[in-house]
Amino acid sequence: MTNEVRVRYAPSPTGHLHIGNARTALFNYLFTKHYNGKFIIRTEDTDEKRNVEGGEESQLRYLKWLGIEWDEGPDIGGEYGPYRQTERLDLYEKYVDELLERGLAYKCYMTEEELEQEREEQRAKGQVPKYSGAHRNLTDEQIAAFEAEGRLPSIRFRVPENETYTFHDLVRGNITFESSDFGDWVIVKKNGIPTYNFAVAIDDHLMKITHVLRGEEHISNTPKQMMIFNAFGWTAPTYGHMTLILNENRKKLSKRDEHILQFIEQYHNLGYLPEAMFNFISLLGWSPVGEEEIFDKDTLIDIFDPDRLSTSPAIFDQQKLKWMNGEYIKNVDLEKVIDLAMPHLIAAGKLPENMDEERRKWAENVIALYQEQLGYGEEIVELTELFFTEEINYNEDAIKVLEEEQVPEVLQSFKNKLDTLESFTADEIKAQTKATQKETGYKGKKLFMPIRVATTGQTHGPELPQAIALLGKEVVMIRLDKVLEEITAN
């Protein structure tokens, strides 16, 4: 591309960073970085009733956590600021005045009750509700009378008649709307605040935005924004509308859907890695060439091709996300895994917040046992339960193992050999397991499964000699004694 690519992600500070919004930000980021352009954050905060305290800060914090950086924004400024719409009201006023002077906009004094009555009458006739244009051509006397009543006007854009709006969508190809589909729409509300479609068009022009990638729910907004661009003789950006994200039941991902965690903060709190989240979200509605699915950020920037944005809805597959995060966990430094998992053991009350060096080292070794199995940080609590419980409740599979005829002989031999150990290390335990094999003649599952079940309560798990060493001699001997007592009593 010859001209500098400039794209924007424009969150509303109405809540936390949602998966869908994160995808929009991420695709814009990949797009502009692929073309060596500029990525802009612009806060669309004009809907003051819905704004929440700390909403902007939260959105920006989790974008940064994901690994998305920006070149201009409300927190760092830039050449085309300010970057919050509520700080740009004077800018909008200038363009509103121009449209009023040119007769391309007008004041509408209809009350909400009158507008609703109009919509009801249209529905009763089987018509799609839209503004009738009742106040399109008010006389000075009518205006004076409405103002004498104390009515506050909204300002509406005068939609051109018999106009066709066609734009080439990066995802969907050519899309066409007719101006007759729209009634004159509000560009400034009665409280003096500009509406979304008006402010967005002005901002996109003034900030020299070249491309707009956003969700498909914005398709119907595009012609309204094009109307503003046309009214001022400006060139509209190139638009691309991404498909919906669906849940595993192929229903639209809704913020009320409790089956799927909706917000990036939740994944952060559960102990997901930002690199894995970045990778996973990049594949929600975009696909690379080939079968590979694991990519670092630099590679994704390099291979991102907008032509490969999907025309089919993306499926949010929670199991795939967990698998992908697990792949990342396997390949990061152990220190990072410890940082990810340790807070969850502390929060669950398994470990004290302030540990001495010996206890901390023990906890780190326990976590290290599960690096290969861990799907996300919080899973460490369930995975390591065997290290923090006195009573083992054997499940059906474990009981079946303990009922096998060779078990008493194997466990008694193994216990006798452990009893002689002064150094209770994984290497020593491994050696005594081999000695048990030699003494009893049992090997493979006949040997290892009874030992695993009796000492850990599980039929599968981490490296067994290491797990036994970390459990400690006292705990292991008590567990072996108890199992032997129970199975010989039956």
* 3-state SS class at 145: helix
Given a contact cutoff of 8 angstroms between Cβ atoms, the answer to whether 288 and 308 are in contact is yes
Long-range contacts of 367-370 (CB under 8 A, 24+ apart): 367/334, 367/337, 367/338, 367/341, 367/342, 368/334, 368/337, 368/338, 369/462, 369/463, 369/466, 369/467, 369/470, 370/341, 370/462
Q: Which residue is associated with the tokens 């969150």?
A: 11
Task: Give the burial string for 318-351 (b: 16+ CB within 10 Å, else e).
Answer: eeebbebbbebbeeeeeeebbebbbbbbeeeebb
Q: What is the CA radius of gyration of the chain?
A: 32
Residues recognised as catalytic: 255
Strand 314-315 and strand 245-246: the pairing is parallel
Quote the tokens at residue 76. Answer: 């760092």
Given a contact cutoff of 8 angstroms between Cβ atoms, the answer to whether 353 and 361 are in contact is no
480/421 Cα distance (integer angstroms): 15
Burial of 72 (0-12, 13-18, 19+ CB in 10 A): buried
Q: Calculate the alpha carbon distances from 158 to 99, 132, 199 in Å.
A: 9, 11, 16
Looking at residue 10, the DSSP 8-state letter turns out to be -
Encoded amino acid at 253, one letter: L
Burial of 408 (0-12, 13-18, 19+ CB in 10 A): middle
